[in-house]
Structure 1
Amino acid sequence: MDPTAQSADISSSQNSAAAMKESTLSALELVYWRDPKKSAVAFGLSLVVLVSLATFSVISVVSYLLLAFLCVSITFRIYKSVIQAVQKSDDGHPFKALMERDISVPAETFRKGVDVSLAYVNRFTRQARRLLLVEDLVDSLKLAGVMWLMTYVGAVFNGITILILADIIFFSTPLIYEKNKTQIDRYIDLIRSRVEETMAKLQDKLPGAIKRTKAE
């Protein structure tokens, strides 16, 4: 392989890893409420949008959001124009600083985002192939059990309701876990040991030809 191309691949991998790490840290800061104001805004906006989608159509939600934004911005623009006329000032457009700000996405940032997304997609497709084609019988049985439980969840909740619950859990569980880490870890270890014991007993009862066959 050309050393230049190899160096470029290594640099791209390092950039992708750095971008993934940065995104993960940003998400962790939000869910652990390191900055309460940012977390509250993110949680509030996401919850409002999801509840709105549960009540109205996507088109209605988008239209109402844009209409609310326009009402605020137009009102503020008229207010500032009246103030400038009364005071005979020449401050210009109230949103001039925002309008002059460069909001274009840099090519490098876009490439990093694509690389990070591609890494997740490839990982998902490999894992899906492994489970759906029964590379490991026990793991595929676990997936089947989870999907069977999800059929009951789907019968009780619709997709938007599940997303609302997931949003609440996403912003509340990490903080609760951080405050009660010792007790929660103890219960998780207990549950994990019970599940492993049950799966081990199940595997022992399987015929030898279809037992777990992971590569050593």
Structure 2
Amino acid sequence: MDSQSHEIDSTTEQLHKTTYDDVIPPRYDTNETPTINSTNPDYNPPSTPTVHHMETNNPVVDSLNKGKTEFKRAQQQTEDIITKTKRIVKQHWDQTRHSLVQVQKKVNEIMPKEGNNLIYWRNPIQSGIVFGLSLSVIITFMFLSSLAAVSFWLLAFLVVIGLYKMYNYVMATFVGRVQDDIFDSIFPSDVTISERQAQAIAHAIHVNGTKLLRHARNIFLWNNLVNSTLFGLVLFVFFYIGLSMNALTFTLVGLIFVFTVPKIYQVYQVPIDRTAKMILDQINQLLAKVTSKLPNKSKKA
């Protein structure tokens, strides 16, 4: 009996030593690594950032937004450039045409009537003779020295007059037909410079020479900054023109221009203006096509 009671006491003692945790296991594993689906109540998952916060700090999104902004800005600048180009082209064409008309009117007012008759070929024979002689003189000076060219033309003039005098002499002596001498009418025997003509020439030299010297002084002494700058630009342009052609070539081009362009424009003014207007319209259409091919901002929006 004593041994049985000793066993009972020992069993009771072991039961008392058993803890509650040994009998009822915990709801979680103390050695468990914390995860999102962890059963550990002490696990506090880190707070996830909101979608807006992620988008704000995302460098890819920032670069995309910046690219869109730059694209819209470049598109706007391109449209502005095209619009300004169209306006400038039309404005410059109108100004150029108006300037040409004004220059033509001023030239007609300044130039004497004989000069207008020559340029506009109102007397074709006279204009052709003057144009041909002037062209021949310039070409001669281009290929010969000044001394040779002057001697050549004086000799040619002397030979032509001698041949004409001989022709008149033969016609009057052997044929009996006397003709009026053209050169006697051109160069009358009483060739003189009257005092009135000399005074008019001297007065013109005095007035125009004084104005020219004053303008030259103001330009070269930089009394007028704008005029001096413009004069310097003109000299710079003529310097580059002189590198490719000399003064005689420039004079030759100017002579051909004077005897051809005004008359051509006078005769074909209507088709020239129509052609110029067509070219201007084509330029505007091309600019409009370029503008239409740009992405539309309203569609993007």
TM-score normalised by the chain length of structure 2? 0.45
Offset, 1:97:
5.0
Structure 2 match to 1:111: 199
Offset, 1:23:
6.1
Offset, 1:85:
4.1
Alignment equivalent of 2:129, drawn from 32, 38, 41: 41
Alignment equivalent of 2:234, drawn from 121, 128, 146: 146
Structure 1 unpaired stretches of 5+: 1-20, 188-216
Q: Distance in 2 between matches of 1:96 and 1:149?
A: 44
Larger radius of gyration, structure 1 or 2?
Answer: 2
Q: Which amino acid aligns with 1:65?
A: W
Alignment equivalent of 1:60, drawn from 138, 148, 167: 148
Q: Which amino acid aligns with 1:110?
A: A
Specify which structure has the higher proportion of helix: 1
Offset, 1:100:
6.0
What are the superposed Cα offsets for residues 71-93 of structure 1, whole Å, 9 maximum, x if unpaired?
33333333444444435x59699
Change (3 A) 1:169 1:160: same
Greater Cα shift, 157-166 or 64-73: 64-73
Offset, 1:69:
2.6
Alignment equivalent of 2:222, drawn from 123, 130, 134: 134
In the TM superposition, 1:169-180 aligns within 5 A as 169-176=257-264, 178=266, 180=269
CA contact (8 A) 2:171 2:177 kept: no
Change (3 A) 1:31 1:44: same
Q: Distance in 2 between matches of 1:40 and 1:94?
A: 21
Alignment equivalent of 1:101, drawn from 177, 183, 189: 189
Structure 2 match to 1:78: 166
Q: Distance in 2 between matches of 1:180 and 1:96?
A: 39
Q: Distance in 2 between matches of 1:45 and 1:141?
A: 38
Structure 2 unpaired stretches of 5+: 1-108, 278-301
Identity of aligned residues (%): 25
Change (3 A) 1:127 1:29: farther
Change (3 A) 1:85 1:67: same
Change (3 A) 1:44 1:96: closer
Are 1:51 and 2:139 counterparts? Answer: yes
TM-score normalised by the chain length of structure 1? 0.60
Q: Distance in 1 between matches of 2:180 and 2:121?
A: 36
CA contact (8 A) 2:171 2:178 kept: no
What are the superposed Cα offsets for residues 87-120 of structure 1, whole Å, 9 maximum, x if unpaired?
5x59699689558632222221222123223332
What RMSD over aligned residues (CA atoms) do the two structures have, in Å? 3.6
